[in-house]
Amino acid sequence: MEITAFLDRKLARRFRTYDADGDGFIGRDDFTSAGLRTTRAFGLRDDEPKAVWFQASLSGLWQQLSAATDTDHDGRISVDEYKKAFADGLLETPESFDEGYRPFLDAVMAIADEDGDGKLTVEEHVKWTGALMNLAEADARMIHDILSDDDGLLSTQALLEAIREFYFSEDPAAAGNWLLGSLD
């Protein structure tokens, strides 16, 4: 995969959302703390089935990401390692992305979609993106407004398409490229 200047900016922005402690590296602790923030934001105990599923999905995402990116095997991922993994084909096609990411998104939705209708309200979207990725409320509200349907709800499918667009679209105006707010 070619890392264009635009994709480089998007990857740098996504890396910052993973780096929960701001130390310039992504580590297992960043994933663990983000997971705990998220389950607690939705009032779940650590032993509740949805919380256990979410934490297991997040752990699986960490294992997959670290196996593909941690080239010096120091237990943490630098921004250069992260970007190199994409250049080396971490996400080869939108279809392979869907296969790898959909299970994690399903676990997120099990927690964030409090009424279980398969769609997120703006409040649910703000809560999960803030807790998991430290996304600013204004950014979460903006992207929810862009992606939501006429009823103001954001479906799992629309969210998956936006996430896929974030990684694969070179169109700066594409909705998915605003998924994490401004790239600056």
Q: Which amino acid is at 80?
A: D
Q: What is the pLDDT of residues 78-115, one digit of tens each?
A: 999 988 887 776 666 666 677 777 888 999 999 999 99
How far apart CA 26 and CA 16 sit, in angstroms, is: 9
Count of alpha carbons within 13 Å of 34, Cβ hemisphere only?
Answer: 28
**To which CATH superfamily is domain 5-170 assigned?**
EF-hand (1.10.238.10)
Q: Which amino acid is at 180?
A: L
Tell whether the model's pLDDT for residue 28 goes beyond 80. Answer: yes
How far apart CA 94 and CA 1 sit, in angstroms, is: 12
Adjacent-strand bridge partners of 27: 76
pLDDT, position 5: 92
> What letters, b where the CB count within 10 A reaches 16 and e where it falls short, cover 60-90?
ebbeebbebbbeeeeebbbbebbbebbeeeb
Tell whether the model's pLDDT for residue 46 goes beyond 90. Answer: yes
How far apart CA 160 and CA 98 sit, in angstroms, is: 8
How far apart CA 170 and CA 125 sit, in angstroms, is: 25
3-state secondary structure at position 178: helix
End-to-end CA distance of the chain: give it in Å, rounded.
Answer: 23
Q: What percent of the chain has pLDDT over 90?
A: 61
Mean pLDDT of the region 23-42: 94
| Domain residue extents for the chain | 5-170
What is the chain's mean pLDDT, rounded? 89
How far apart CA 12 and CA 184 sit, in angstroms, is: 10
